[in-house]
Copies of this chain bind each other. A is one copy, B any other.
Amino acid sequence: MEAIIPAKQYEMLELGFIGPEPAGSRVQVDLCGRFTRGERTWTVPGFYAGNGTYRLRFLPEEAGEYGLTVTGSILDAPQTAKVVSAAAAAGRHGPVRAEGTHLRHADGTWFHGFGTTVYAMAHQSRALMEETFQSLENGPFNKIRMCVFPKHYVYNTNNPEFYPFQVKEGREEKSFDAAGLPLFPIEQPERDSYWDVHMPSYDFWDAFEDKLRRMEKLNIQVDLILFHPYDRWGFANLTQEDNLVYLDYLLRRFSAFPHLWWSLANEYDLVAARSLADWHEIEEFVAAHDPYHHLLGNHQCFLIYDPSRKNITHMSWQTKQLFRVGEMQRKYGKPVLIDECRYEGNIPEFFGNLSGQDMTRSFWKVTTQGGYCTHGETYLPGTPEGDAATATGEQDVVWWARGGILHGQSPARIGFLRGIIESLPGPLEPLGAGMSGILGMTDEEIRRSAVDLPEYLAPMLRTICSMERAERDGFFAVEFEYNGHCGDDAFLRYLDDQCCALTRMNLPENHSYRVEVIDTWEMTRETVLENASGLTEVRLPGKPWMAVLAVRTD
């Protein structure tokens, strides 16, 4: 009689096995589950979890019955079972995947991403991590970027409680002191194989996994950063062979989590020990060993990692050039995530001293174009704002690196924006209005667009065409206006720094719209027109950071 194993759609199923400690590698263990349903098959390797236990994890994406055969040297014989997956529980939507330039859960629910960044979240004291979870629970974010490895960087030099691997046999334990080290070792140090990647430290992985489970409970997608250069322990300098062993273990353990995304790296191009060929190999390895095809991106400092690569599902872009979201959507046909665009804070470093107003502006700029923006908070330790970042009494706590208490002014506004976006009938697409439409156009496209203009304006477009391309792009970049739409159903104009007393929108003639004026900073919405259509004048208070939303009512 075959065992019947109950499961739930979009929730990880975990099966446990008892066996002997693996003799060699504790990563490359021989345990495999073969799940079948109709024509489809999922082959998922198990992993060793320490203490004589093996685990096999599976994420059922369909409700119904699956056949299962488990094989492996720890079993006397192959075992079979039937897995019966119940339909998804309320609020369970399945993994997020790319659909065109947007993000959508497996069940079809649009995912409107509003991210934050706590790189070394999982490597902090328990008290600090509790504080971080509390902040996330009360905050507006539904995505977090966090690293697997501990992080060594300014304001963030603490050793973690656990390391992911054991020290190689015969090697003496080092003490990793932050003092006197450069910001991070960009130069390529010797690869000395201090860590034994075949010997995972289960305390590390259990504790890390606990963080992932808690994020899942909070409905927060985790963009898991697999590598990064900010390192003094040697994790940025493993051999490539060791990298793949590390990934093998990670993918066996984590792939069945529904809410994980893979970020190959943070600032991959600053990891001096890795060549581009290494990154391609890493990318291929992750894609080949993840049976569920989670989102897969790679975040750069300077050199964009080619988003047109087959395995890359979206552009994970560090940039301050927020007007280029639409351009990149057109170029790659994939979702554009602005995964670093300066943070709210007051540190001396350029990347981390935006006002709450300016962090909020970034979200509106990106979101209006149908892109996805990522927040960070960086208040200087030792200032009143910096010291408000934790109640644990710990020093040097900066949200962007370590978590703690979110006390900036942008999160409330990001939540306000999220509410508006989630009320729309679908994701936004950029709408090239005014001069913004010209940005990124070829000469030929500009000439074609002249056809729609009053004849007396055509010479102006000819003049524009005669600008050098770089000058033209630079010109229109700083004239950019932020307009998005969901087909004819909704039009959103973000006026950014324009303190207009009046704006004019060209709404479709054949529909009626309710027009709201939105103060993105004061978080107010006021309906100012009903049944508007065609060319519509909207009075505004002459303040910065206003938006106008027109939603179809017929």
Q: Which residues of A pack against B, CB within 8 Å?
A: 182, 185-188, 269-270, 272, 301-304, 319-321, 324, 345-348, 350, 353-355, 358, 379-380, 383, 385-386, 434-435, 454-460, 463-464, 466-467, 470-475, 477-479, 481, 497-504, 542-544
Contacts and interface: CB of A to CB of B under 8 A. Distances in A.
Contacts of A272: 459
Given A385-B542, A479-B320, A479-B350, A355 B499 contact: yes
A380 B434 contact: no
A403 to B, nearest CB: 20
A383 to B, nearest CB: 4
Nearest to A464: B302
Given A186-B457, A187-B455, A320-B478, A353 B463 contact: no
Nearest to A185: B456
Nearest to A541: B346
B182 A467 contact: no
A455 to B, nearest CB: 7
Contacts of A303: 463, 466-467
A467 B185 CA distance: 21
Contact of A353 (B269, B347, B500): B500
A378 to B, nearest CB: 10
9 contacts: A186-B459, A269-B463, A270-B460, A302-B463, A304-B471, A319-B475, A346-B501, A358-B544, A386-B501
Nearest to A471: B304
A350 B481 contact: yes
Contact of A456 (B187, B353, B383): B187
Given A346-B501, A355-B497, A473-B470, A456 B320 contact: no
A500 B270 CA distance: 26
10 A-B pairs with least C-beta separation: A320-B478, A346-B542, A346-B501, A187-B456, A353-B498, A380-B501, A383-B501, A348-B502, A353-B499, A186-B456
A321 B500 contact: no
Contact of A186 (B188, B353, B460, B479): B460
A187 B459 contact: yes
A385 B501 contact: yes
A224 to B, nearest CB: 24
Contact of A182 (B320, B456, B503, B504): B456
A385 B498 CA distance: 15
Contact of A358 (B477, B497, B542): B497
A187 B466 CA distance: 17
Query: Considering residues A454, A479, A481, A497, which has the most beta carbons from chain B within 10 angstroms of its beta carbon?
Result: A497
A464 B269 CA distance: 10
A301 B463 contact: yes
Query: Considering residues A188, A355, A457, A504, which has the most beta carbons from chain B within 10 angstroms of its beta carbon?
Result: A355
A454 B269 CA distance: 18
Given A182-B456, A348-B501, 6 more contacts: A187-B458, A301-B463, A302-B475, A321-B475, A347-B500, A355-B499
Contacts of A383: 501, 542
A37 to B, nearest CB: 45
Contacts of A463: 269-270, 301-303
Nearest to A182: B456
A528 to B, nearest CB: 15
A380 B348 contact: no
A386 B501 CA distance: 10
A482 to B, nearest CB: 12
A116 B117 CA distance: 44
A542 B347 CA distance: 8
Contacts of A454: 182
A376 to B, nearest CB: 14
A355 B386 contact: no
A478 B523 CA distance: 28
A500 B346 contact: yes
